[in-house]
Structure 1
Amino acid sequence: MKDNPTATCLWTPGASEWEWWRKRPGDPVAVPSDRPAAGTPAVFGLPAHQCSSVPVWVNSADPEVIEQVLQVELERLGVPVPDGAGCHLAWRVVGSVEARRLVRAIAIPRTLDPRGAKEKADWETFLPSPLMHPPRPRAIVLWQELGRWVVGFSREGQWVHFQSLGRREPDASLLQDLRCLYLELDGRRMVDLVDTLVLWKSAGNQPIPPEFGDQVAEVLNLDFRVVEKPAPEAKLAEGFSFEPGEIADARLRRDRSRKAVRTAVLVAAFYGILISVGIVDLFRRQSANQVLREQVEAKQPETQVISEARARWEALEPALDVNRYPVELFYRVAKLFPEKGLRMTKFELTPGGQIVVRGEASSVPVAIRFKADLEASPDLQDYAWEIPPPEINDDTAEFVAFGNYRYSVPNEEGMAVASEKDGWMK
């Protein structure tokens, strides 16, 4: 049968084994149930032996003061409260006398009971299992959870304290421990006066010896009654909601994993959009380039005529530009030579438009000064000069200067003129 999605499923510790319970909206109480479908929302009942119950009086109703007092009391009793993710401590006011407040605090560990943790469900909350059962008025209640005896004490219809007494026989020794707990709580005015010890009986309960009732009367001076253990009810534990650390860690890992998946999907979608836009833009540009290529090809004959004409004009430029006449360049270079100490031995204009000037100087400083004159001449600013260091030959310094036309074009046809007059001196 398919589970009703509005039903409340509870996974609680029974007398000897874990049990499933289910309560539909119209049911007066929960009833035993089979395992629900995987992923069904459910409530996890924390067994008493995993819970630390701490009742304490606080002389204030201020929540901050209550928490401070609880912290001190928990440290005094050595009750550990785990740090980190999850919720391991909760408290509630269960009574008051004038300005004093009776606070019931419960602490849980980070890990679940191993047997209970094997069951998988969509856990909505984690509640102490004793709080999911109603207390009995003017009575101490004794029952079993997973083979361990548990005792509960109440005040004005609310649980004040519960405690696991461990795995043991139901005998006078058990009752003596129970009596000590009651006397301590009664001495601190935390519990109601009692006249009965109630034993909750359920499937899997340890057999009770016949003399147990007499032992109750002898040790506790109380009546003894055995009744059926009531069905669990999550609403009775209202105000208490825990999340063990291991559950919180798993939830955080799932959240991070889901976030990482969402981020990866968003990034993939973003890059997918970028790639799509890029592909569309690529096709658009290719189409535009194709149109341009067709236009260029259509105008190719005209551009060919223009290119050929430009090449012819560039070839004629040295003959048309007075600043590049070989004779004019020779004159501009020659007038830089002083009357004494320097003479030109060769002037050449290469086909590439480079000026080559060779000469002799009376000394190295004179040759270096001529280099400066070439570079500073306003008539030769269209040329970039390269002049290696002069070479000493006997009592003269031989030098060479290369002038490269700054605006030369490839394959330019040059004109050359040479002057070699060994005895010529300006």
Structure 2
Amino acid sequence: MASKPRKSTQDLLMPGAAGWERWTAPAGGVCTRVAEYGPGVAGGFGKEMMTRLLALPLGHVWVLPAWLQGAEAHLRDMAALHLERLGVTVTDLPNGLQVRPVAQRDGAFLVCMTALKEGHAPLWDTGRLPDEVLLSADCLPLPPDAMVIYRELGKLVLVITNGSEMVYASPLSSHDLDEHALGEVNHLCLQLGFQGVLGQVQNIILWLEEEGNLEQVKKVTGLPALRIPRPAPLMPKPGRSTLVPPEILKAREQAARSARTRMLALTAGFAVAAAVAVMAVLIALATQERDLLRERVAELTPAASQVLDHKRSWLEAAPAVDPAHFPMQVLLECQVPKAAGEVSMTHFEWQPDQVLLRGRTPSPSMALQYAQEIQAVNGLMFYTWETPAPTIASDNSATFELKGGVKP
């Protein structure tokens, strides 16, 4: 009986809870940990000839969701423009930005954008470079429609899934899973909810052994909280990621140049004529590369001027569209009046030039007091408020509508 062909084993270097870890497994299989490095200790791939995968920590990338309108073939360009509006610049689109569609609705795509941050890739052993670079969360069996909190290289990180796909991932600013960290999680959920990118989150899962109070997590977030051990990674199949940090690109180029130099050194001893021919070939290649670079620069020059024009237009529009007042900030400002504690907000609508509030109060006087006090809030002084008389119900409660427009 013929034996089944064995799957080739892959080598995965990824960040663990405290330090770097090395795992091995066939593509698509459950990984087995073969090495664990302490905090601050540089990890490295094994000496065996295997496909090497490097998993970047979440602190090295931006993982952001967005709804993009347009053709699927242009998602990368649209994502780059969207990130630029958020202040994230991607200089190398093919190697520095990956766009993964998550859902589609009414001609728009919900995508998860993964962009490399400016910084150094965790690369220590330039003699054994990774064949592929991907995100650490792509190697973990993430639960669907959930928020997962765990530690990565000593830092708390948060991952949110929409269905079975990841839509958001980032380190938390708090070192401990306390009320500050949970407040940050709530703030992120509100922002993602306003953008319409948050799915039906079912629960919060803690891949933490003892950190965090489950009752406190449930009380602050309003979601069921579960604590389970962090599962072993799943070995990704090759070709999932197109990310390549510039440090690795440079190291690959240096390795290629070193290989060419060694080959030239070996062949130069055979004959002077062969050496002259090799030098002529190298000069021709260098000239061709120079010409290609010049052509590339000529192609990119108009695009660069367009980028500067776009930037100049955004700067000119900045006084009219204040980025410091986004919907969440305006909603928080609406809670500043003393009477806000008695207001049940039923509707909140925000646009760059106006805001609309509807709510209910126990009495008409409380509605009038809230309408008077909201006009004195410092963060809302640039609005001109329309405060019609509230509608009084049979139980003496009152409903009101306030409309604020940006002052001309």
1:246 paired with 2:255, answer no
Counterpart position of 1:125: 132
RMSD: 3.0
Q: Given the superposition, is the C-alpha separation of residues 226 and 260 from structure 1 closer, same or farther in structure 2, using an over 3 Å criterion?
A: same
Query: How far did 1:193 drift?
Result: 1.4
Residue 111 of structure 2 corresponds to residue 103 of structure 1: yes
Counterpart residue type for residue 226 of structure 2: R
In 2, distance between residues paired with 1:52 and 1:170?
Answer: 22
Equivalent residue, structure 1, for 2:79: 70
Name 1:22's counterpart in structure 2. 24
Matches within 5 A, 1:17-166: 17-24=19-26, 28-34=29-35, 36-37=46-47, 40-64=50-74, 66-83=75-92, 87-109=95-117, 111-114=119-122, 117=124, 121-166=128-173
Unaligned runs of 5+ in 1: 276-426
Structure 1 residue 231 corresponds to structure 2 residue 239:
no
Contact 1:31 1:231 in 2 (8 A): yes
**Aligned match of 1:8:** 10
What is the alpha-carbon distance in structure 2 between the residues aligned to residue 94 and residue 55 of structure 1? 9
Query: Normalising by structure 1, what TM-score?
Result: 0.55
Deviates more, 1:66-75 or 1:232-241: 232-241
Q: Which residue of 2 aligns with 1:186?
A: 193
Kindly provide the amino acid, as one letter, of the partner of residue 185 in structure 1: L
What SS is found at the alignment partner of 1:33? strand
> How many Å apart are 1:155 and its aligned residue?
1.3
Letter in 1 for 2:109: R
1:178/1:194 Cα in 2 relative to 1: closer, same or farther (>3 Å)?
Answer: same
Query: Is the contact between residue 144 and residue 165 of structure 2 (CA under 8 Å) also seen in structure 1?
Result: no
Aligned mates of 2:131, 2:70 — CA distance in 1: 33
* Deviation of 1:263 (Å): 4.1
Classify 1:241/1:274 alpha carbon distance in 2 versus 1 (closer, same or farther; 3 Å).
Answer: closer
Q: What code does the residue aligned with 1:41 have?
A: T
Render the CA deviation track for 1:137-196: whole Å, top value 9, x for unaligned. 232111110111111111121111111114511111101111111122222221221231
Q: How many residues align?
A: 262
Contact 1:95-1:103 within 8 A present in 2 as well: yes
Residue type of the alignment partner of 1:108: L
Instruction: Encode CA deviations 1:327-356: one digit per residue, 9 max, x unaligned.
Output: xxxxxxxxxxxxxxxxxxxxxxxxxxxxxx
Distance between the aligned counterparts of 1:274 and 1:129, measured in 2?
A: 47
Three-state SS of the structure 2 residue aligned to 1:137 is coil
Supply the distance in 2 between the matched residues of 1:95 and 1:237 (Cα, whole angstroms).
23
* TM-score calculated relative to the size of structure 2: 0.58
How big is each residue's C-alpha offset from its partner over 1:229-255, in whole Å with a ceiling of 9 and x where there is no partner?
222224279632321111111211221
Q: Is the 8 A contact 2:60 2:117 kept in 1?
A: yes
* Greater C-alpha Rg: 1
Q: 1:274 to 1:22 in 2, by over 3 A?
A: closer
Q: Which residue of 1 aligns with 2:211?
A: 208
Contact 2:10–2:52 (CA under 8 A) maintained in structure 1: yes
Q: Could you say which residue in structure 1 is the equivalent of 2:283?
A: none
Q: Distance in 2 between matches of 1:262 and 1:120?
A: 17
Quick check: 1:147–1:167 contact (8 Å CA) kept in 2?
no
Per-residue Cα deviation, 1:364-408 (whole angstroms, up to 9, x for no partner) = xxxxxxxxxxxxxxxxxxxxxxxxxxxxxxxxxxxxxxxxxxxxx
Counterpart position of 2:272: 271
Question: Counterparts of 2:54 and 2:275 in 1: how far apart (Å)?
Answer: 48
CA separation of 1:78/1:273 partners in 2, compared to 1, >3 Å: closer, same or farther? Answer: closer
Partner of 2:379: none
1:286-320 superposed Cα distances (whole Å, 9 cap, x missing partner): xxxxxxxxxxxxxxxxxxxxxxxxxxxxxxxxxxx
CA distance in 2, matches of 1:11, 1:75: 31
Structure 1 residues 41, 268: closer, same or farther in 2, change over 3 A?
same
Structure 2: where are the runs of 5+ without partners?
1-5, 36-44, 277-408
> 1:57 is matched by which residue type in structure 2?
W
How high is the sequence identity, in percent, across the aligned residues? 24
Identify if the C-alpha distance between structure 1 residues 37 and 264 changes in structure 2 by more than 3 Å, giving closer, same or farther. Answer: closer
Question: Cα offset for 1:90?
Answer: 1.3
The aligned amino acid for 2:65 is: P
SS of corresponding position for 2:242: coil
Contact 1:20/1:33, CA 8 A, preserved across alignment? yes
Shift of 1:117: 3.3
**Matched position secondary structure for 1:190:** coil
The alpha-carbon deviation at position 93 of structure 1 amounts to: 1.0
Is this contact kept in 1: 2:65–2:168, CA < 8 A? yes
Residue aligned with 1:140, SS: strand
Maintained 8 Å contact 1:198/1:225: yes
Query: Is the Cα–Cα contact under 8 Å of residues 129 and 248 in structure 2 kept in the other structure?
Result: no
Q: Show the 5 A alignment for 1:276-287.
A: none
